[in-house]
C-alpha cells in the first residue's frame, strides 16, 4: 500500500513508522486545513467542534486524499493530557463515513505505537477496528470504531497513541466516494516531519469530525 520507507521521529524519541504489514508509510503533499471549531468546506468533513480544554485531543493525518479511492486510509493520534496514565482500553475513537462498498468490507490496522515518555510499538494485535452501521445522515451511514484490549496497556500522561487504519473492499476491488464522508478532510495531510511534530505543532492535522469516547463518554469532536 505504501511505497517507501519512512522513519518517524515523535518529539525526542525515534520509532519505526512501518505499518502492521511491515510496509512503510508514505506522506502525501498537503494544503491548508480547517481550524478547530470552524465550519468545514465541502469535502473537508462536517464542521464539527472541538473543546480546546479537553484532556484528550485527537489529530488526523489523511493518507488517501483522493475523493475517489479504493479505500480509506488515515492515521490518528490521541494525546493524553489528563495528568495521569490512562488505560487504552477505556478509549473508543470513531471515524464517520458513507460506505459504497458492498459487504463484507475489509479492515486493516496497519500500525500502532505510543510516544514518547513510554514509547512502544508493534501492538496491532491489541487494536480492534469495527465498521458499524448507524442511522444515515447526508454524510455518514457507518463509522469505524477503534478500541483496545487490556493487553494494549496504558498511555502515559503527555504521551500520544498513534494508529493507522484502513477500510476497503477485499482485494481493493471497489471504489469509495470520500467526498460524502463526514470525517474525511482532504487537506489534513503533511510531511512526515510535520506529523512527527504533532501534538506540539498540529495546525495541518486538526480534526473535530472524528470523536473520542472515554468509558463511553464523548470527550472530543462532534458526531454527525
pTM of this prediction?
0.79
| Cα 129 from Cα 72, distance rounded (Å) | 13
Domain range 27-220, its CATH number among 3.90.650.10, 2.60.40.710, 2.120.10.10, 2.60.120.20: 2.60.40.710
Q: Which of these ranges, 85-94, 146-155, 168-177, has the smallest mean pLDDT?
A: 168-177
Q: Percent of the chain, pLDDT > 90?
A: 67
Q: What is the end-to-end Cα distance of the chain in Å, rounded?
A: 29
Instruction: Please tell me which residue, 53 or 29, carries the higher pLDDT value.
Output: 53
Rounded to an integer, the average pLDDT of 57-78 is: 95
Q: Is the pLDDT of residue 12 over 80?
A: no
The residue extents of the domains of the chain are 27-220
Give the angle subtended at the CA of 8 by the CAs of 7 and 11, to the nearest 5°: 140
Cell reading at 66: 483522493
Whole-angstrom Cα Rg for the chain: 16
Amino acid at each position: 500500500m505504501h511505497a517507501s520507507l519512512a522513519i518517524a521521529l515523535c518529539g525526542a524519541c525515534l520509532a519505526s513508522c512501518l505499518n502492521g504489514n511491515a510496509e512503510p508509510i508514505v506522506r502525501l503533499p498537503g494544503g491548508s486545513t480547517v481550524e478547530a471549531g470552524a465550519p468545514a468546506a465541502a469535502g473537508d468533513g462536517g464542521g464539527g467542534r472541538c473543546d480546546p480544554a479537553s484532556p484528550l485531543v485527537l489529530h488526523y493525518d489523511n493518507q488517501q486524499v483522493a475523493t475517489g479511492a479504493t479505500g480509506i486510509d488515515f492515521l490518528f493520534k490521541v494525546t493524553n493530557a489528563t495528568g495521569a496514565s490512562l488505560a487504552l482500553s477505556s478509549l473508543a475513537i470513531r471515524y464517520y463515513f458513507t460506505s459504497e462498498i458492498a459487504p463484507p468490507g475489509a479492515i486493516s490496522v496497519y500500525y500502532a505505537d505510543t510516544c514518547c515518555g513510554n514509547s512502544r510499538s508493534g501492538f496491532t494485535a491489541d487494536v480492534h477496528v469495527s465498521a458499524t452501521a448507524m442511522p444515515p445522515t447526508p454524510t455518514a451511514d457507518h463509522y469505524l470504531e477503534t478500541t483496545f484490549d487490556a493487553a494494549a496497556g496504558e498511555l502515559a500522561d503527555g504521551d500520544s497513541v498513534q494508529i493507522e487504519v484502513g477500510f476497503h473492499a477485499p482485494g481493493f476491488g471497489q471504489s469509495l466516494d470520500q467526498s460524502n464522508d463526514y470525517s474525511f478532510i482532504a487537506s489534513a495531510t503533511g510531511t512526515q516531519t510535520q506529523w512527527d511534530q504533532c501534538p506540539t505543532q498540529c495546525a495541518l492535522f486538526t480534526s473535530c469530525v472524528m470523536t473520542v469516547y472515554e468509558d463511553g463518554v464523548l470527550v472530543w469532536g462532534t458526531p454527525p
